[in-house]
A and B are shown apart, each in its own frame.
Chain A
């Protein structure tokens, strides 16, 4: 099963209430698969092809306001269009899941894989002070698993979360074990878990209003302080990463998503040559695993940050280690994916044969 298809299957099995999306390569299989599976006949999940990404995200915003588990997916240019709605979701403290299967930019760019939306995803993207929880899958299995994780974290912290995948993991097929089918939440469960939700003002309850607008600056500052407390809480509890071969490593590679797998092969090939390289793969790009990288970098001579972009995550890696360890970037752009040999050559050039 393709990564994009796994997202669709996992959404139905999570018991998602709605998906709203617009076709764009390389992620159209998400919408196509959902339409083919017709979950409205089985779980009652709503699937709708919107007229644009702008509408998709605003449908997500409307659906999320009613306490439903709703999601969308797109690829880079489409996710740029969604930034308005994502900012509103964050400001209104609404849970939702957004999937970005990145392609190369800027502009219309290329339909081929890229990781050049790292800044957009992790540093805000839209206007205002906010963060998304950003999950970076490296396997089709993680594409499936992160749907439930993304939704659960979104509801736990009342904040939108994003699966930041790339064209490789979206388009590639591999073995995947799908989670068991969960029932969709009932209207009663939603009212209990989401007392803020717009569900119709019943009985003596005061009306619920979901809004991001607050013209009183003092109140708006308080709102922002509340958002920031949530973000600190997420930073404390939800950092996720994978570390491989770091115990005896002389060098460290930091890479996320599918590129981490290419690096892993490079690392395994290098071990055959006697070069000891470790890997830290951030799974949550926000919150970023600063401590894990600092720890893994304690005894290394250099860090290579491998990303298929011009060097974005490298800024966070440098923050993690300050100036104590030299950090270099290796990446390709425009949709080109480096192979393991290129990664190893880059590491040798930067740190071993300089």
Chain B
């Protein structure tokens, strides 16, 4: 059997989402960003939002998200994505606006923008990849770096007496009255990907229904920054990250009301 005999529409079991471009991704092997990009592209397509979705890209590894997902984008300054999203959403209430950020961008330099967008209950989706490190700048400590974790700026491991505690961002924004849905997910297994997709889908539906701010934290890996193989990264994440950042819904006003 030749290769051409196999590649036929009727044999197709899986394909790249329609809204995910064929640009070659710059992400490292083992990185979680690619999977989350795929989920976002699928959700936008499946909900029929391609003409309505406007993405706000961060500064960090996902800075080029706009090269991969085929919708309109604005590239924000470091940490400012929720401020941009606020204005884009308020000035264009018929659009569905989402930010795509890392934990350094969102929870360090962008803390004020995040807290206040969430507390105003902006009708936006905030997706935060929590890999506990600044990947793009070369693996420095981020707000979510675990205690003891070695990074370029904590070469002997993060010490709470020097660097404070790792920040549970999802828990912080969950107590703000403007958030309607806060969840923490991962994308390291097929089951986890399914759950993460359901969460992102729900977040986009909330934004369309103007329910307030939806916050989806994805605990992810950074094999390059963590200096581990992709496989070992996933294992380390399960054993260490999930202990400090347990997965699951933190807040869902649909269920509490």
Q: Which residues of A does B touch, CB under 8 Å? A: 17-18, 20, 46, 48, 50-52, 54-56, 58-63, 65-66, 68, 70, 84-85, 88, 92, 198-203, 207-213
Given A59-B83, A198-B54, the answer on whether A17 and B91 have CB atoms closer than 8 Å is yes
Which residues of chain A come closer than 8 Å to B56, judged between CB atoms? 62
Tell which of B54, B72, B85, B113 has the most Cβ of chain A within 10 Å.
B72
Q: Is the CB of B72 within 8 A of A201?
A: yes
Q: How far is the CB of A227 from chain B (nearest CB, A)?
A: 17
Q: Is the CB of A199 within 8 A of B72?
A: yes
**By the criterion CB–CB under 8 Å, are A198 and B74 in contact?**
yes
Neighbour of A62 across the interface among B50, B63, B84, CB < 8 A: B84
Interface magnitude class on chain B: 20 to 34
Q: Tally A-B pairs: CB < 8 A.
A: 123
CB neighbours of B88 from chain A (8 A)? 62-63, 65-66, 198
Which 10 pairs between the two chains have the least Cβ-Cβ distance?
Answer: A62-B84, A211-B75, A58-B83, A62-B87, A59-B87, A58-B80, A63-B87, A51-B116, A198-B72, A55-B83
User: Which A residues touch B84, using CB under 8 A?
Assistant: 58-59, 61-62, 65
Query: Interface 1/0s, chain B 161-187, versus A by CB < 8 A?
Result: 000000000000000000000000000
When C-beta atoms are compared, the residue in chain B nearest to A46 turns out to be: B90
Residues of A within 8 A of B83 (CB): 50, 54-56, 58-59, 61-62
Could you tell me which residues of chain B, from 62 to 93, have a CB within 8 Å of some CB in chain A? 63, 66, 70-77, 80, 83-88, 90-92
Is B112 positioned at the interface, with any CB of A under 8 Å from its CB? Answer: yes
A183 to chain B, nearest CB (A): 16
- Chain B, residue nearest A59 (CB): B87
A66 / chain B contacts, CB cutoff of 8 Å: 54, 87-88, 91-92
Q: A211–B112 contact, CB under 8 A?
A: no
Which residues of the other chain, B, contact A51 by a CB distance below 8 angstroms?
112-113, 115-116
Tell me if B52 and A200 are in contact (CB < 8 A): yes
When C-beta atoms are compared, the residue in chain A nearest to B113 turns out to be A55
Q: B22 on the interface (CB 8 Å rule)?
A: no
The residue of chain B having its C-beta at the shortest distance from the C-beta of A47 within the complex is B90
Q: Chain B, 113-157, contact with A by CB distance < 8 Å: what is the 0/1 string?
A: 101100000000000000000000000000000000000000000
Q: How far is the CA of A70 from the CA of B66 in the complex (A)?
A: 24
Contact in complex: A200, B85 (CB < 8 Å): no
Are B80 and A85 neighbours in the complex by a CB distance under 8 Å?
A: yes
Give Cα distance in the complex from A92 to B56, angstroms: 14
CB<8 Å pairs between A and B, sample of 29 = A48-B86, A50-B83, A50-B116, A51-B112, A54-B80, A54-B112, A58-B76, A58-B83, A58-B87, A59-B84, A61-B76, A62-B85, A63-B88, A63-B91, A66-B88, A66-B92, A70-B87, A85-B77, A200-B53, A201-B51, A202-B51, A207-B66, A207-B71, A207-B73, A209-B66, A209-B72, A209-B75, A210-B74, A213-B75
Answer whether A200 and B51 are a contact pair too, CB < 8 Å, given A58-B113, A210-B74. yes
Q: Is B57 an interface residue (CB 8 A)?
A: yes
CB within 8 Å of A: which residues of B?
A: 50-54, 56-57, 63, 66, 70-77, 80, 83-88, 90-92, 95, 112-113, 115-116
**B70 CB contact (under 8 Å) in A17, A88, A207, A210:** A207
**How many angstroms from the CA of A57 to the CA of B50 in the assembled complex?**
28
How many whole Å from B125's CB to the nearest CB in chain A? 15
B178 to chain A, nearest CB (A): 13
Contact indicator B50/A201 (Cβ below 8 Å): yes
* Assembled-state Cα–Cα distance A63/B57 (Å): 15
CB contacts (< 8 Å) of A55 on chain B: these are 80, 83, 86, 112-113, 116
With a CB–CB cut-off of 8 A, which chain B residues contact A54? 80, 83, 112-113
Q: Is the CB of B92 within 8 A of A20?
A: no
Which residue of B63, B75, B85, B92 has the most chain A CB atoms within 10 A of its CB atom? B92
CB <8 Å contact, A18 and B90: yes
Establish whether residues B74 and A211, one from each chain, have CB atoms under 8 Å apart when the complex forms: yes
A210: which B residues are within 8 A, CB to CB? Answer: 73-75
What is the bound-complex CA distance between A59 and B84, given in angstroms? 5
Residue of A nearest to B54 (CB): A198
Given A209-B75, A213-B63, does the pair A52, B87 have CB atoms closer than 8 Å?
no
Is B77 a contact of A211 with CB atoms below 8 Å? no
A48's contact among B66, B74, B76, B90, by CB below 8 Å, is which? B90
CB neighbours of B52 from chain A (8 A): 200
Point out the residues of chain A lying under 8 angstroms from B73, CB to CB.
198, 207-211
Closest Cβ of chain A to B170, distance in Å, is 20
Contact residues in A for B85 (Cβ distance below 8 Å): 62
Q: Known: A68-B91, A213-B63. Contact between A59 and B86, CB under 8 A?
A: yes
Cβ–Cβ < 8 Å partners of B51 in chain A? 200-203
A244 to chain B, nearest CB (A): 42
How many whole Å from A311's CB to the nearest CB in chain B? 33
**Nearest chain-B residue to A20 (Cβ)?**
B87
Q: Please, which residues of chain B bring their CB within 8 A of the CB of A207? A: 66, 70-73
Contact partners of B77 in chain A: CB under 8 A: 58, 61, 84-85, 88
Q: Which one of B54, B91, B92 has the greatest number of beta carbons of chain A within 10 Å?
A: B91
Q: How far is the CB of B121 from chain A (nearest CB, A)?
A: 13
